[in-house]
Amino acid sequence: MAKNSVDMEDIQTVDLMSELLRRMKCASKPDKRLVFIGPPGSGKGTQSPVIKDEFCLCHLSTGDMLRAAVAAKSPLGVKAKEAMDKGELVSDDLVVGIMDEAMNRPKCQKGFILDGFPRTVTQAEKLDEMLNRRGAQIDKVLNFAIDDSVLEERITGRWIHPSSGRSYHTKFAPPKVPGVDDVTGEPLIQRKDDNADVLRSRLDAFHKQTQPVIDYYAKKGNLVNIPAEKAPEEVTKVVKKAVST
């Protein structure tokens, strides 16, 4: 009971009722520990918030966790900042340690979605070791499988209105006038990374780095391949079914 009272102290009064309602709704949900794997443009970012809310999970991204740990000046955060200040990569042990701390947050009580981690088999093994110490394990690894040519069409067709963040797609969601924002009439731009050459190099790097991780989880029997080329609503149905079973 004491732990809950401490948790509640961190919540603004205006948010207290919604937090209590969230906890009541989530009390009956089963625990889920998920890993989402997929190349840029595969739809992970679209599905994560839906699954997070549906199953009362927290979304853990290594970048966000590192920034939060550094800002909080936790012992691990201080070590991570030292590494980053020197221009060094933060070690796998440090990242997993910060992840271990993040899992103690109330919103992670029912489990988590890991996005962007693990990227290597060594990281996957260290993650398993940390979860084993907690008496837990990864339940499902969802691999957002999609052909590179489909990704190329998705990403190279994206256009952005810089000041509002509105996004368009030449094929799937075109503006009323090509190259022009529907609301303001201002010109649209393409991000520098949203071109075929940059995308191909990112995809090559992704496949080389991630395939061994996919193989690692396939051997463990908890990998589910998601047909990510389908429409987002269809993908959501497949993902929900995969997570529920």
Which of the residues are catalytic? 44, 119, 158, 191, 202
Angle 225-245-224 (CA atoms, 0-180°, nearest 5)? 10
Kindly state the tokens that stand for 243.
């997570």
Q: Centre a 10 Å sphere on the Cβ of residue 185 and count the other Cβ atoms it contains.
A: 9
Residues 157, 170: Cα–Cα separation, whole Å: 5
Cα 131 to Cα 2, 124, 125: the distances in Å are 25, 11, 10
Q: Centre a 10 Å sphere on the Cβ of residue 49 and count the other Cβ atoms it contains.
A: 11
- Sign, Cα dihedral of 184, 47, 111, 57: positive
What are the backbone dihedrals phi and psi of residue 72, each rounded to the nearest 5 degrees, phi first? -80, -10
Residue pair 214/222 in contact (Cβ under 8 Å)? The answer is no
